[in-house]
Amino acid sequence: MTVWQEDAARDLVLNAGERFALLTRGEGSYLWDDQGKRYLDFLAGIAVTSLGHAHPVFVDAISKQAATLAHVSNYFATPPQLELAARLKRLAGAGIDGRVYFSNSGAEANEAAFKLARLHGGAERPRIIALENAFHGRTMGSLAMTAKAAMRAPFEPMPGGVEHIPATIEALEAALDDRVAAVFVEPIQGEAGVVELPEGYLAAARSLTLKHGALLIIDEIQTGAGRTGAWFGFNHEGITPDAITLAKGIGGGFPIGALVTFGAASSLFTPGSHGSTFGGNPLGTAVANAVLGEIESARLVENAAARGVQLRTVIEGIGSPLVSGVRGRGLLIGVALTAPVAGKVVAAAQERGLIVNAANPESVRIAPALTIGDAEIEEFQTLFATALADVRVGMTASETGKVDA
């Protein structure tokens, strides 16, 4: 065990398990560890570093704002906060009635959305609908909406009223009634292995929630900020939700989240009904403004759409017997495997100098910076193909049998 591993084992809580490497710097789509080894980063901190590492726009925004004003309480407004709120409303199409609440993470944004649903529902609408295989965070409210028994069990009882249903239009139709306060959905279920909702699901959810007077709240924490080749995942179906939650890519690596409300949902929060000491501070909002401004001016949403198609073609073209399919949109991609060896693929890829993620035993998640081009994709193809081949060679007889079946 190295010195840094001993330090981590002694000083860090065990929630994340053993760390894979000690990373010391980054630039663009590359990271370096303490031994000087270079990695091609095709995870981007799990869809966070939209512009890659140490992007000049990101660095400049932090430097300038830190030298001006880093934090004040939310008893006051600041120019970056107001600018970001207006920008998010414009990008999301929230209109003049839209409002923005700022948090520090996606889980906090979903916690605020959970409270929004409660405010809307009151005693007459105690039910909240979420989907099987959903992931909305690890705070108590967001965990209540997360459909992962292993995550929930140690902390039960959960806040009540949440029901998980299959991700089908038929199940949603059967579950909705006038006692439902809100329906929470992810356009693509990232933690489930990058699994898309059935075609037309969001449009049906919008129609059904309007019919029953329930809120439609869309978790865009992983799919927002251009990740899917549109500004937000809900844009692909042309609907208008009641609220969306954001984090990850909007800050490009700086911790920031947001709840954006639309229409009548914007009047539900009143003074004192929710808050955050650090949420919406000038440093975080200035950085998010810079990141989103660069995504917009550099046409990185369009790049995500085009590079996503290119990347899917590359993965399918590898022709590995370990790959059974490719899922997702834009630069949020799930590689379905024919055997439960995702952990081995991730380890082999890291050994070769490529960072990807095992969303579950049979799915590899890929979510690079929105800035990638031909050179990064060509290198990814070589490294990922080699990692798949390495795992194939080292598979057990039972694992090989599953692949060949």
CATH code for position 364? 3.90.1150.10
262 lies in the same domain as 337: no
Are 137 and 102 found together in one domain? yes
Note whether 226 and 330 are same-domain residues. Answer: no
Q: Which candidate in 41, 184, 219, 344 is catalytic?
A: 219
Q: Is 248 a catalytic residue?
A: yes
Position 53 in a domain? no
Contact in structure between 110 and 142 (CB atoms under 8 Å): yes
Whole-model pTM? 0.95
Is 221 annotated as ligand-binding? yes
Buried b (16+ CB within 10 A) or exposed e, 171-183: ebeebbeeebbbb
pLDDT tens for each residue of the chain, 405 residues long: 899 988 888 989 988 888 899 999 999 999 999 999 999 999 999 999 999 999 999 999 999 999 999 999 999 999 999 999 999 999 999 999 999 999 999 999 999 999 999 999 999 999 999 999 999 999 999 999 999 889 999 999 999 999 999 999 999 999 999 999 999 999 999 999 999 999 999 999 999 999 999 999 999 999 999 999 999 999 999 999 999 999 999 999 999 999 999 999 999 999 999 999 999 999 999 999 999 999 999 999 999 999 999 999 999 999 999 999 999 999 999 999 999 999 999 999 999 999 999 999 999 999 999 999 999 999 999 999 999 999 998 776 666 666 655
CA separation (Å) from 232 to 22, 183, 309, 329?
33, 18, 17, 11
Same domain flag for 107 and 222: yes
Within 8 A by CB and 6+ apart from 328, the residues are 188, 194, 196, 228, 308, 334
Q: Are residues 214 and 334 in the same domain?
A: no
Whether 279 and 255 have beta carbons less than 8 Å apart is answered as: no
Among 246, 280, 297, which residue terminates a domain? 297
Chain-centroid distance of CA 96 in Å reads 27
Q: Is 384 a catalytic residue?
A: no
Are residue 312 and residue 218 in the same domain, yes or no? no
| CATH number for position 198 | 3.40.640.10
Instruction: Say whether both 92 and 140 belong to one domain.
Output: yes
Q: How many CB atoms lie within 10 A of CB 353?
A: 17
Quote the distance between the C-alpha of residue 136 and its chain's center: 9
Of the candidates 114, 248, 269, 380, the residue annotated as catalytic is 248
Are 102 and 91 in a shared domain?
Answer: yes
Q: Which of 252, 268, 297 is the last residue of a domain?
A: 297
In a domain, 45, yes or no: no
- Per the structure, the count of domains in the chain is 2
DSSP state of 254: B
Q: Is 325 marked within a binding site?
A: no
Q: Residue 53: helix, strand or coil by DSSP?
A: strand
- 173 shares a domain with 192: yes
338 is in an annotated binding site: no
Per the structure, the complete domain to which residue 361 belongs is given by 3-31+299-371+382-394
The kind and range of the H/E element at 210 are helix 201-212
Is 241 found in the same domain as 148? yes
Q: Are residues 353 and 241 in the same domain?
A: no
Q: Report yes or no: 70 and 91 within 8 Å, Cβ to Cβ.
A: no
CA dihedral 327, 194, 258, 271 (to 10 degrees): 120
Q: Which amino acid is at 47?
A: A
Q: Which of 58, 102, 114, 135 is catalytic?
A: 135
Sign of CA dihedral 368, 302, 134, 90: positive
Domain's final residue, options 297, 328, 363: 297
389 burial type by CB count under 10 A (0-12 exposed, 13-18 middle, 19+ buried)? middle
Asked whether residue 401 is assigned to any structural domain, the reply reads no
Task: Give the single-character DSSP code of 52.
Answer: -
Whether 308 maps to a domain, the answer reads yes
In a domain, 131, yes or no: yes
Indicate the helix (H) or strand (E) that contains 325: strand 323-329
Q: Is residue 52 part of a domain?
A: no
Residue 107 marked ligand-binding:
yes
Residue 19: CB atoms within 10 A of its CB come to 12
Is the domain of 281 the same as that of 291? yes
Is residue 222 marked as binding? Answer: yes
Residue 13: half-sphere exposure toward Cβ, Cα within 13 Å: 1
